[in-house]
Amino acid sequence: MDLILGEDGRLRSGWRFLLSVVVFFFVNGFAIDVANTLAGPSDRKFELFYRPFLAIFLLASFSVLLKLLDRVEGNPLPAMGLRRCHFAKDVAVGICLGVVMVGLAVLLLALVCHIEFQVVLSGHSAKLALAVLLILATGAMAEELAFRGYPFQRLVEGTGTIVALILTSVLFGIVHLRNPHASVVGVINTIAIGIVFALAYLRTRSLWLPWALHFGWNLSLGLLFGLPVSGLREFGVVVRGTATGPAWITGGAYGIEGGAAGTLGIAAGLAFVLLMIKRRLEPPIRFCQELTPDERVSLSIQVSEGSGPPAAR
């Protein structure tokens, strides 16, 4: 029984992690079926249904796990890293950082290769841009919930930060192998940016910063510069970017994530997260109640004095 239940009577974190993986595969398959039914043969319509539904289904499913298995009282979303505090700051910093990271990569392409852009402005392209915004925002949220949300947090509890960070980031890279024109360099860069996202969560104990960083990266690639997003080109509905030059720099058809330009942008993001994002004095993952301002001050004092936050149930 000790292998299944912990001293607190709850299912051990490793089993909760495995169960959350099973839930993810079930929910993902269900979201695909729903999107296929509603979208028909259109790829963009499929994405427009699939990604929001996947994000919603994951939020609902992981919330149920938090209530039933983690015994979280009240709103389970803060326990998943979706706290109200620091929301605006994290979103602003994350989106700006994502744009800067891609901007550095594009600048490198402009300096050592050749890049050109075609712009199409019309009422139709504006509608498509709104659809792409929804796809990219919900897609980034779904991936953050899956790779830095409940499963990652349970893995941190069971194996420690380093193992959880490496394992989930490698899995994050591997799942992108199914994308068009995937390459070894592309997978390595995707693993690296997965590490950046995971560190952003660990520094803030919030999903808002990694989500905004993820969204800002994809938004810049797909919508602002019209470049492939992990091999996918359907997001360039207003701007269409084309980079020509050695594939080891440009990433070829996979986009900058498959070349040295993407490596530069990711390295800049990693440096920023490590040097500029301060570790917050937040409750541990399992201490999931929303705090009032007075309670937050009291908690910070307790941590600074070494007494720590209230014990997890």
- 240-294 confidence digits (pLDDT tens): 999 999 999 999 999 999 999 999 999 999 999 999 999 986 554 444 344 544 4
98 CA to centre of own chain? 12
Report the sign of the C-alpha dihedral through residues 206, 212, 215, 220, in that order. negative
Could you tell me the CA-to-CA distances from 184 to 190, 254, 255 in Å, in that order?
A: 10, 11, 13
Name the stretches of the chain with pLDDT < 50: 284-290, 292-313
pLDDT at site 311: 35
pLDDT in tens, 87-98: 999 999 999 999
- Nearest residue to 254 (alpha-carbon basis) of 182, 176, 175: 182
3-state secondary structure of 150: helix
CA distances from 283 to 211, 303, 313 (A): 20, 9, 13
Overall domain count for the chain? 1
Cβ(80)–Cβ(145) under 8 Å? yes
> What pLDDT score was predicted for residue 300?
47
Structure tokens at 285: 């993952």
In a domain, 199, yes or no: yes
Residue 47 neighbours by CB under 8 Å, 6+ apart: 35, 135, 139, 234
In a domain, 55, yes or no: yes
Domain with 197, as residue range(s), is 13-285
pLDDT of residue 40: 77
> What is the value of pTM for the model shown?
0.88
Please report whether residue 71 resides in a domain. yes
Pairwise CA distance, residues 252 & 261, whole Å: 11
Residue 257 lies in a domain: yes
Tokens matching residue 147: 């790779």
In a domain, 105, yes or no: yes
**Looking at residue 306, what is its pLDDT?**
41
> Looking at the domain assignment, is residue 207 inside a domain?
yes
Residue 121 lies in a domain: yes
